[in-house]
Amino acid sequence: MAERDGSSTAPSDVDAVVVGAGFSGLYLLHRLRMLGFTTRVIDSAGDVGGTWYWNRYPGARCDIPTTDYAYSFDPELERAWTWSEKYATQPEILSYLRFVADRYDLRRDISFSTKVTSAAWDESVARWLVRTDLGEEISCRFYVMASGCLSLPKSPEIAGHDRFRGEVYFTSTWPHEGVDFTGKRVAVIGTGSSGIQSIPLIAAQADQLTVFQRTANFSIPARNGPPSPERLDALETDRAAYRDEAKLSRAGVPTEVTEIAGAWATDEVRRERFEAAWEAGELIGILGVFNDLLLNETSNEVVAEMIREKIRAIVADPETAEALCPRDHPFGSKRPCLDTNYFQTYNLPHVRLVDLRKQPIFSITESGIETTDESLEFDAIVYATGFDAMTGPVVAVDIRGRDGVSLREKWADGPSTYLGLTTVGFPNFFTITGPGSPSVLSNMAVSIEQHVDWVAGCLDDLRARGFQTIEPTPVAEAGWNQHVDDGASITLYPTANSWYMGANVPGKPRFFLPYVAGVDVYRATCDEVVARDYLGFSLSGPVGSQCNDGVIRRLQVDVAMLIRTLEELDLPPMESLPVEDARALMQAIESVRPPGRAVGEVVDGVLPGAAGELAYRLYRPATAGPHPVVAYFHGGGWVLGSLDSDDPFCRDLCISSDSVVVSVNYRHAPEARFPAAADDAFAAVQWIAAHPAELRGIPDQLAVAGWSAGANLAAVACWLARDAGGPDIVGQLLLTPVTDGSMGTTSYQENALGYVLTAPLMQWFWDHYADQADRGDPKASPLRGDLSNLPPALIVTAEFDPLRDEGRAYAEALSAAGVPVHHLEGRGQIHTSLTMTDVIPSSADLRAQMGDALRDFFRAAVPA
Ligand X SMILES: Cc1cc2nc3c(=O)[nH]c(=O)nc-3n(C[C@H](O)[C@H](O)[C@H](O)COP(=O)(O)OP(=O)(O)OC[C@H]3O[C@@H](n4cnc5c(N)ncnc54)[C@H](O)[C@@H]3O)c2cc1C
Q: Which residues bind ligand X (CB under 6 A)?
A: 19-25, 42-45, 50-51, 53, 55, 60, 62-64, 69, 115-116, 146-151, 194, 393, 396-397, 432-433, 443-444, 448
**DSSP structural state of residue 412:** T
Buried b (16+ CB within 10 A) or exposed e, 254-278: bbeeeebbbbbbeeeebeebbeebb
- Estimate the share of the chain in helix, then strand, then coil, as percent rounded to the nearest 5: 40, 20, 45
Smallest separation, CB 233 to ligand X (Å)? 22
Q: How near is the Cβ of 421 to ligand X at its closest, in Å? A: 13
Pairing of strands 731-735, 793-800: parallel
Cα(815)–Cα(794) distance, rounded to whole angstroms?
11
Count CB atoms within 10 A of the CB of residue 312: 15
Helices (H), 220-348: 229-237, 239-247, 267-280, 283-287, 297-314, 318-324, 342-345
Q: Is 581 helix (H, G, I), strand (E, B) or coil?
A: helix
φ and ψ of 503, to 5 deg: -80, -10
**Minimum distance from residue 87 beta carbon to ligand X (Å):** 7
Judged by CB, which is closer to ligand X: 501, or 655? 501
Nearer to ligand X, 23 or 493 (CB): 23
Residue 648 one-letter amino acid: P
Cα 212 from Cα 195, distance rounded (Å) = 10
Q: Which is nearer to ligand X, 407 or 444 (CB)?
A: 444
In whole angstroms, the minimum distance from the beta carbon of 568 to ligand X comes to: 27
Query: Closest Cα to residue 176, out of 91, 269, 270?
Result: 91
CB 452 within 8 A of CB 432: yes
Report in angstroms the alpha-carbon separations of 61 from 69, 90, 91, 218: 11, 5, 9, 17
Q: How far is the CB of 119 from ligand X (least distance, A)?
A: 9
Pick between residue 24 and residue 538 the one whose CB is nearest to ligand X: 24
CA 372, distance to chain mean position in Å, is: 40
Q: How far apart are CB 303 and ligand X at their closest, in Å?
A: 21
CB of 666 to ligand X, least distance (A): 55
The whole-angstrom separation of Cα 346 and Cα 83 is 31
Question: Closest Cα to residue 145, out of 125, 162, 160, 130?
Answer: 130
Q: Specify the residue, 117 or 763, whose C-beta has the smaller distance to ligand X.
A: 117
Residue 89 is classified by DSSP as: B
d(CA 498, CA 512): 9
The least distance separating ligand X from the CB of residue 221, rounded to whole angstroms, comes to 16
DSSP readout, 16-60? Answer: EEEE--SHHHHHHHHHHHHTT--EEEE-SSSSS-THHHH---TT-
Name the residue nearer to ligand X (CB basis): 114 or 663.
114
63, 89 in Cβ contact below 8 A? no
Give CA–CA dist 731/702, Å, rounded.
Answer: 8
Q: Which is nearer to ligand X, 22 or 737 (CB)?
A: 22
Helical H segments across 496-618, by residue range: 519-531, 557-569, 579-590
Q: Which is nearer to ligand X, 25 or 802 (CB)?
A: 25
Whose Cβ is closer to ligand X: residue 42's or residue 179's?
Answer: 42
DSSP element (H, E) containing 132? strand 127-132
Residue closer to ligand X by CB (options 396, 690) is 396
CB of 562 to ligand X, least distance (A): 28
Q: Considering beta carbons, is residue 22 or 514 the nearer one to ligand X?
A: 22
Cβ distance to ligand X smaller for residue 60 or 559: 60
Nearest distance from C-beta of residue 209 to ligand X, angstroms: 20
Q: How far is the CB of 152 from ligand X (least distance, A)?
A: 7
| Nearer residue to ligand X within complex by CB, 41 or 496 | 41
Backbone angles phi, psi at 140, to 5 degrees: -145, 155
> Coil, helix or strand for 277?
helix
Residue 313 phi/psi, 5-degree rounding, is: -75, -25
Of 143 and 378, which has the nearer Cβ to ligand X?
A: 143
Distances (CA, A) of 457 to 13, 31, 37, 376, 534: 22, 9, 12, 57, 12
To ligand X, the closest distance from the beta carbon of 244 in angstroms equals 18
> Largest Cα–Cα distance in the chain?
96
The rounded distance, in Å, linking the Cα atoms of 181 and 176 is 15
Residue 341 φ then ψ, to 5°:
65, 30
Query: Does residue 643 contact residue 615 with C-beta atoms inside 8 Å?
Result: yes
Q: For residues 58 and 326, which CB has a smaller minimum distance to ligand X in the complex?
A: 58
> Which CB, 42 or 702, lies closer to ligand X?
42
| Residue closer to ligand X (CB basis): 222 or 630 | 222
Give the nearer residue to ligand X in terms of CB position, either 45 or 517: 45
CB of 15 to ligand X, least distance (A): 19
Identify which of 577, 593, 703, 730 has the alpha carbon closest to the alpha carbon of residue 639.
577
Q: How far is the CB of 436 from ligand X (least distance, A)?
A: 15
Inter-axis angle of helices 90-103 and 23-34, nearest 10:
10
Provide the strand spans (E) within 610-659.
Answer: 612-620, 627-633
- We find the least distance from the C-beta atom of residue 811 to ligand X, in angstroms, to be 48
Kindly state the smallest distance separating residue 27's Cβ from ligand X, in Å: 8
* Residue 111: CB minimum distance to ligand X, A: 9
Asked whether the beta carbons of 626 and 572 are under 8 A apart, the reply is no
Query: Least separation, in Å, of the C-beta of 539 and ligand X?
Result: 26
